[in-house]
């Protein structure tokens, strides 16, 4: 694990490697990938500065670690990065003055009552790499990072594309009825932007259909024991409906713990 965090070699499956970005150039390339996916593939609206740079960036990037996925078969270094995830640790967020999520959700139950926090954000992978194998490799990289820094809670905003909550009524209601976070650390959408997720009664929901339609990121959190906060946020700039996903390492599913503890050689959870 020290190789992954300190030396930057990462972990690989076949020709694909996940590791932390080592240089400013790699961070810029990850931001360029984010731009291509968020603003070109989808319909986010860039600021003039972001459009001019052709990179998705904000004040949080300078304080975060950037996990990157590389295809080693690609010889052009400017195109090797095919996926990325931004990780902002608690100490860095306090240095900056806030977490990104705090602009959309009240996370005071987390920040005031718990330690060992890690905010996950800006997740994206090129379309042709959105496979189970690549996503599992990305989670393995996250697992190594979490174990090394003794993270107690992972959280962040996860998105549905589009801005009409009525179209997502079953999905939002399913999350509310089945995966609402415990009160002791539950995020809540800020009052002036709160969108109700409790739209459809439980007996009117088709769970199999919902699970097929859930975004892979949200599905991944639920699979390993994650929760969602109360209320959604409609992000018109990114053309998304956001929910706050949160995972306590105390609530990691046993299968996940057993699998990744074998790979990282370290235990999850509190000391």
The model's pLDDT over 35-87, given as tens digits with 9 standing for 90+, comes to 999 999 998 999 999 999 999 999 999 999 999 999 999 999 999 999 999 99
Identify the residue with better confidence: 21 or 6: 21
Report pLDDT for 270: 38
pLDDT digits (tens, 9 = 90+) for 149-184: 999 999 999 999 999 999 999 999 999 999 999 999
Give the pLDDT band of residue 101 (cuts 50, 70, 90): very high
For residue 255, the model assigns a pLDDT of: 52
Please give the pLDDT value at position 271.
Answer: 34
Give the tens place of pLDDT for each residue, 227-241: 999 999 999 999 999
Average pLDDT for 5-17 = 80
Residue 242 predicted with pLDDT over 60: yes
pLDDT(269) > 50 = no
Gap between the Cα atoms of 88 and 122, Å rounded: 11
What per-residue confidence (pLDDT) applies to 132? 83
The 10 Å Cβ neighbour count of residue 44 is 19
Q: pLDDT tens-digit profile of 179-225?
A: 999 999 999 999 999 999 999 999 999 999 999 999 988 998 898 88
The angle subtended at Cα 84 by Cα 83 and Cα 85, nearest 5°, is 145
Full DSSP string of 5-58: III---EEETTEEEEE--SHHHHHHHHHHHHIIIIIIS-----HHHHHHTS---
Q: 3-state class of 172 per DSSP? A: helix
Q: Residue 244's closest CA among 165, 181, 167?
A: 181
137 secondary structure, DSSP code: H
8-18: average pLDDT:
87
Other CB atoms within 10 Å distance of the CB of residue 231: 24
pTM of the full structure: 0.90
Residue pair 56/31 in contact by the 8 Å Cβ criterion:
yes
Looking at domain 2-264, its CATH architecture is 3-Layer(aba) Sandwich (3.40)
Q: Is the pLDDT of residue 124 over 90?
A: yes
In the chain, the DSSP E strands lie at: 11-13, 16-20, 65-71, 81-89, 105-106, 117-125, 153-161, 188-189, 227-228, 233-235, 240-248
Q: In degrees, to the nearest 5, what angle opens at C-alpha 120 toward C-alphas 56 and 80?
A: 50
Q: Where exactly are the structural domains of the chain?
A: 2-264
């Amino acid at each position: 694990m020290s190789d992954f965090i300190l030396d930057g070699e990462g972990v690989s499956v076949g020709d694909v490697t996940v590791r932390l970005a080592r240089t400013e150039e790699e961070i810029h390339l990850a931001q360029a990938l984010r731009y291509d996916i968020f603003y070109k593939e989808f319909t986010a609206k860039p600021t003039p500065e972001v459009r001019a740079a052709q990179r998705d960036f904000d004040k949080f990037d300078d304080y975060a670690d950037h996990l990157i996925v590389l295809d080693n078969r690609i010889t052009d270094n400017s195109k090797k990065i095919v996926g990325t995830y931004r990780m902002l640790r608690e100490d860095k967020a306090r240095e900056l003055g806030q977490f990104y999520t705090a602009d959309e959700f009240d996370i005071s139950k987390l920040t005031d009552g718990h330690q060992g926090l890690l905010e996950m954000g800006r997740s994206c992978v090129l379309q042709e790499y959105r496979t189970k194998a690549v996503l599992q490799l990305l989670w393995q990289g996250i697992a190594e990072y979490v174990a090394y820094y003794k993270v107690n809670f992972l959280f962040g905003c996860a998105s549905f594309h589009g801005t009409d909550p009525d179209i997502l009524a079953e999905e939002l209601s399913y999350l509310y009825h089945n995966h609402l976070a415990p009160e002791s650390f539950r995020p809540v959408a800020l009052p002036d932007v709160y969108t109700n997720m409790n739209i459809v009664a439980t007996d009117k929901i088709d769970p199999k259909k919902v699970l097929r339609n859930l975004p892979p990121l949200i599905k991944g959190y639920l699979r390993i024991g994650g929760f969602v906060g109360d209320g959604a946020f409609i992000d018109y700039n990114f053309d998304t409906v956001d929910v706050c996903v949160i995972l306590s390492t105390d609530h990691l599913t046993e299968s996940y713990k057993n699998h990744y503890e074998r790979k990282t050689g370290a235990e999850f959870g509190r000391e």
